[in-house]
Structure 1
Amino acid sequence: MKALKIAGLLSLLIVGGCGRIASPGDLLHAPNLANEEQALYRAVQPFLPAGYQLTTPDQSDQGSAIRLADLDGDGDEELIVSYKKPDTDYEVNVMILTQRGGAWQKADQITGSGMNLDYLGIKPLTDRASSELLLGYDSGGSGLPRELFVYSFSGGQAEEIFHESYDQIAVGDLIGSGMEQIAVVPPAVDAEDTHSQIRLIGEKNGKLSLLAESRTDGSVTNMQIERAATNIDGLFAQIMSTTRSGYAVLLAWENNDLVNILSLSQKSYDERVSRQDLKLEAPDRNSDLSSTENKWWIDYPAKNRDVDGDGILETALPTPLPSVESPSGTPQLWSDSYYRWDGNRTMEFVEDRFWQWGYDLRIPNRWLGEYRIELPTGSENAAGEVRFTYSAKTDTGNTVALPLLTLRQMTSEAWNALKPVLESRQSEYVVLGSTGSVIPGNSSLVTVALLPDGNGDLTGKAALDYEALRLTIAEVHQLAGISADDEEEASGDVEKH
């Protein structure tokens, strides 16, 4: 019998909030520094004032409190250190050290106002040969904006060259110039006004200036600059509005302006249920992103991500799952369908992912167009079971719904009763995880994936077609995104709960 105890299809770690005091393992990040970390840590310590501790930014291109980078382009790296006094709420410091005669010395210090350092980046913004230091401070107060300051470094001194308030920030080479640009969403001026902007800041005549601006009719979320197609970077964002759930945009740089690639006609949008490639309209060149109905409409803010690991970010499109006809009031289930831009006028379908009870399951492409979702009604499992089924024709011409995979969530007591039954008939299953008991006295919940027994008494071609759709334990393992190392740890977790 193949019975695996596997905890969790995919755990989503949401990191945010306030900056934190750095642990030794978080202190620095730079290539090939494994043997130098302790030396650099010791080099920094004499320059830290008494009572101050290293702190890591909430967002960073390298995620560390100690950084090595050549800021002034002279070929020698500076040491950039972020630190604060734990009991001081509104002051964050960044110190720059340079080397002279083989010894580190303090060159300059930047003191910013804020509860923590929200963003730290070191990017070439105005010159390919040097880099600027980007510091974003978070006041921590409700309704108070974050503040971005950009510094150049020359002659041992840091000089402020740009400042702007922001709600969101993303940095990358959107233009393809070899230098990077800053995309910012300014904070809302009026809490009642849902309109916002995406401003692109970059080099113009040797200075940082506004290059382009797109207006929106909702709040901007999940903004990032990433590889969008072969050799093309794009600005991904989602606009959540009040009139509809929202829409996604993919902004690219064409003819010295930002254009929205995700111009999807209603006809193409309606074809999303087929999980096939989608044809795009001509890029939307209007600076008002709300000016057309040709949108990549989204019913909720699904996360864009590189689902296939090819280095290109896929765009998420929430799509209703094909369902067996159910009584009114039965909830509609959704999948996140992921598409990759081909660099022209097509969004290529990559894969479908289904979320349930905190778990993430990739739906096999060979199931597409063949499966249906069924929610049991009128039973004790109605709220805790999802079935993937396949409609097959028997030799007599009848159509029967056969299971492909059943996801079930139950109490630990119910699982302890079901498990010996499954094992006695040698049924295959995967334990996806256990939530543990959140409320004292209540049972923990166990989630399992049940594979079907037998072939439903099919014969001939019908049996072969059904067999081709069925999953093995190894495939469930792969579709869940779980490594072999997870199995041993997960087994202990389930038993513990």
Structure 2
Amino acid sequence: MLNSRWGRCVAAGSMAVLLGAVLSGCTVISDPKLLMKPPMMSTDKEKLYNIVQKETPPESKLIRPKDMSNTSMIRVEDLNGDGIREASVFYETPNENVRIHGMILEEQGGSWVKKLTFDVPGNELESFKVMDITNDGNPDIVVGVSLQDQKALTAYSYKGGVLEQVLGGVPYNQVIIDDMQGDALDLSGDGKSDFVVVSLNASGFATIALYQYQDDSFKEIDKVVTDYTVKEVYNALGGEITDGKMGIVLDADLDDRSSFTQIMYVQDNKLVSAFKSPDQTYRDDKILSGDVNNDGIIEFGLKETPKGWEHYVFDSRMWFYTFYQWDGKEGKKFVSFQFRDDADLFHLNLKPEWYGKITIDTKSEKEKYIRFKMIKTDETVAEVKYFTFSQWDLEKGKSWKEITRTKDRVIASRVAQAEAGKDALSKTSQLNRKEELNE
């Protein structure tokens, strides 16, 4: 059972709690700079924003969570099912001992009235979700905050003007509480929401714990401690892991260079690993899992050597990045593959039907020219070339298609005439860009 040592109820007015509360929902207000541009916002949003500005201290500024899935600063939702909307916002007072503060407002008579404010001990607002995790039909406020070198998770329910802390101060490195669409997870398949907390100890062993709200408190349904150590769990997702089955996907660094993916699901209220060994998802790179082909199922990535490059040293090789789904048994199912340059300037999706049939010509030169060819016939199927601007002025509009450009070059691709119009090459959505990994 998880209880709050900071107290369970907070009435209207000022209060101090471990973590902040932020609401999200039907109406979203983003960057205040955007709110100054009438074409980009409604009258209702403008009115709410102006009221928020009046209610916050003069030296304060609105803050947004670090969670990139939703960085809105003002969110609106009916938190208690009474048909009246509430708005929440966080602001910072840099010159005070307590820097972060939260505020909840309620819609009344076409305007907004402040209901309560509260202090948030912590350095940064990491994330917040608004969804029903207490399974009572009303959304709860789930917040992550960093406090020195640790992160902590808490949850609140807002009813009758009172903010009740229903989950308090749970340490975590990663938390998985919703799927890729932002909906609450039902990992147990019992029609109730649950969530997973991942934490690392000082030795690098990971604890993966499943929680669900039962009998007026959150209970730990199951817990697994890994028998291997990791440096960091750098990505955590929840959602469909194979056709019709929900689960979680964890990407973890083993050291500075290598990583692997852990896929787990719940069976009979027990956390179960999809693969028997981390070796099945091991790679010498840091790759983000995600839904790379937009079919609603999470894929994980591997780094594979093209045929003919096996005897080259690692740093000299070119690579294919391949993406797989768990097959629901003990293996994996190929989905797609792509080429990336060493500088990670672009990711080029290759035609899935080419997998196992093409390779990269070993005469190709990094950051100059890459030729993709059929293994059996040596026939060129696609090319990537790096142009100077003057060279590109002569080539653009012909057979080459621009992929991206730098301050002094244009990188372009083209396919063989036989593949023209068949979507053989396409740029990816940059799911695995290094800057995303290092934010």
TM-score normalised per structure 1: 0.68
- Residue equivalent to 2:11: none
Do the aligned partners of 1:124 and 1:130 also contact (CA within 8 Å) in 2? yes
The whole-number CA distance in structure 2 between the counterparts of 1:329 and 1:294 is 19
What percentage of residue pairs aligned between the two structures are identical?
A: 21
Alignment gaps of 5+ in structure 2: 1-28, 36-40, 179-184, 430-439
1:258-304 Cα distance to aligned partner (Å, 9 max, x none): 111133xxxxxxxxxxxxxxxxxxxxxxxxxxxx5664223323111
Residue identity in the other structure for 2:423: E
Distance 1:375-1:382 versus aligned 2 partners, 3 A rule: farther
SS of the residue corresponding to residue 363 of structure 2 reads coil
The whole-number CA distance in structure 2 between the counterparts of 1:309 and 1:247 is 22
The whole-number CA distance in structure 2 between the counterparts of 1:418 and 1:22 is 39
Do the aligned partners of 1:90 and 1:116 also contact (CA within 8 Å) in 2? no
Bigger Rg, which one: 1
The whole-number CA distance in structure 1 between the counterparts of 2:34 and 2:95 is 21
List structure 1 segments (4+ residues) > 6 angstroms apart after TM superposition: none
Distance 1:137-1:26 versus aligned 2 partners, 3 A rule: farther
- Residue equivalent to 1:479: 426
Where in structure 2 are the equivalents of 1:79-228 lying within 5 Å?
79-87=87-95, 90-139=98-147, 141=148, 144-162=149-167, 163-172=169-178, 173=185, 174-186=187-199, 188=201, 190=202, 193-216=203-226, 217-218=229-230, 219-228=232-241
TM-score normalised per structure 2: 0.76
Moved more, 124-133 or 293-302: 293-302
The whole-number CA distance in structure 2 between the counterparts of 1:384 and 1:122 is 48
Distance 1:103-1:316 versus aligned 2 partners, 3 A rule: same
Matching residue within 281, 287, 303 for 1:302: 287
Asked which structure has the greater RCO (Cα within 8 Å, sep 6+), the reply is: 1
1:66 aligns with 2:74: yes
Where in structure 2 are the equivalents of 1:389-468 lying within 5 Å?
389-391=373-375, 401-410=378-387, 412=388, 416-417=390-391, 420=394, 428-436=399-407, 444-451=408-415
Where in structure 2 are the equivalents of 1:315-334 lying within 5 Å?
315-323=300-308, 331-334=316-319
SS of the residue corresponding to residue 84 of structure 2 reads coil
Higher fraction of helix: 1
1:366 aligns with 2:350: no
Alpha-carbon distance, 1:406 to partner:
2.2
Distance 1:102-1:370 versus aligned 2 partners, 3 A rule: closer
Residue identity in the other structure for 1:402: E
Do the aligned partners of 1:117 and 1:136 also contact (CA within 8 Å) in 2? yes
The whole-number CA distance in structure 2 between the counterparts of 1:341 and 1:34 is 44
1:232 aligns with 2:206: no
Distance 1:348-1:34 versus aligned 2 partners, 3 A rule: farther
The whole-number CA distance in structure 1 between the counterparts of 2:33 and 2:422 is 35
Alpha-carbon distance, 1:54 to partner:
1.8
SS of the residue corresponding to residue 49 of structure 2 reads helix
Alpha-carbon distance, 1:305 to partner:
1.6
Do the aligned partners of 2:275 and 2:331 also contact (CA within 8 Å) in 1? no
Alpha-carbon distance, 1:404 to partner:
2.0
Alpha-carbon distance, 1:177 to partner:
4.1
The whole-number CA distance in structure 2 between the counterparts of 1:243 and 1:53 is 37
The whole-number CA distance in structure 2 between the counterparts of 1:320 and 1:117 is 41
Do the aligned partners of 1:342 and 1:348 also contact (CA within 8 Å) in 2? yes
Alpha-carbon distance, 1:152 to partner:
2.0
The whole-number CA distance in structure 1 between the counterparts of 2:69 and 2:382 is 41
Q: How many residues align?
A: 383
SS of the residue corresponding to residue 49 of structure 1 reads coil
The whole-number CA distance in structure 2 between the counterparts of 1:416 and 1:238 is 42
1:256 aligns with 2:275: no
Where in structure 2 are the equivalents of 1:235-246 lying within 5 Å?
235-242=248-255, 245-246=258-259
Distance 1:329-1:57 versus aligned 2 partners, 3 A rule: closer
Alignment gaps of 5+ in structure 1: 1-20, 28-32, 264-291, 394-400, 437-443, 453-466, 483-497
